[in-house]
Amino acid sequence: QQQVKQSPQSLIVQKGGIPIINCAYENTAFDYFPWYQQFPGKGPALLIAIRPDVSEKKEGRFTISFNKSAKQFSLHIMDSQPGDSATYFCAANQAGTALIFGKGTTLSVSS
Amino acid sequence: GAVVSQHPSRVICKSGTSVKIECRSLDFQATTMFWYRQFPKQSLMLMATSNEGSKATYEQGVEKDKFLINHASLTLSTLTVTSAHPEDSSFYICSARSDRANEQFFGPGTRLTVL
């Protein structure tokens, strides 16, 4: 499988902080880059996704920044809340193929 | 919309038995579904790609005779873990790709514990 490298492995921020999670990919044919949020014992839930024709996408408090030349994309969570504490996975794929996931980032937002 | 269900949500079985897990797309058609396995504190690892009406494509290292996949309709795929052993204990998650868009929607997962 083509790799998607995610960092950091874990992240602790205070309430109101802006955690940033980064991902890098190798396959230039990838054309879909979603982020998933997963709570313990639950399946992943789609949070936000971007395609390579735009450099940034915002949905509520979540923003994806995309750098095509560097083959990197990141998730920013504005005004983070304790309820945002979860594991976040970046992923990527080419149309018609399975998603390849990063290893995940465990986010803890302290109140 | 875009709801995917899995059944059962949790199953405990004895070593040597077979377990069937169902994955359904409730409000959309999915020609393609995917099966993932997730161990504690790890990422999702793709096991196989399931296509309606044809044989599944398995990832390297996944035993196709042990993990039987059937995709009999545009809304249902099943994974059967045959002769389960304790090392098969894991969280199994399916996803369904909407035929109308390149988005995958995940089921809630099935926790399998083999005693």
> Whole-angstrom Cα distance, residue B33 to residue B100?
14
What is the arithmetic mean of pLDDT over A47-72? 95
Higher-pLDDT residue of A34 and B99 is A34
Nearest to A43 among B42, B49, B107 (CB): B107
**Taking a contact as any Cβ pair under 8 Å apart, which residues of chain A between 6 and 45 contact chain B?**
32, 34, 36, 41-45
Q: What angle do CA A43, B6, B9 make, to 5 degrees?
A: 75
**Taking a contact as any Cβ pair under 8 Å apart, which residues of chain B between 15 and 34 contact chain A?**
32, 34
Q: How far is A43 from chain B (nearest CA, A)?
A: 4
pLDDT number for residue B53: 86
pLDDT number for residue B54: 87
What is the arithmetic mean of pLDDT over A12-23? 97
Residue B72: band (very low, low, confident or very high) from pLDDT cuts 50, 70, 90: confident
**Burial bucket for residue B92 (CB in 10 Å: 0-12, 13-18, 19+):** buried
Do the Cβ atoms of B104 and A99 come within 8 Å? yes
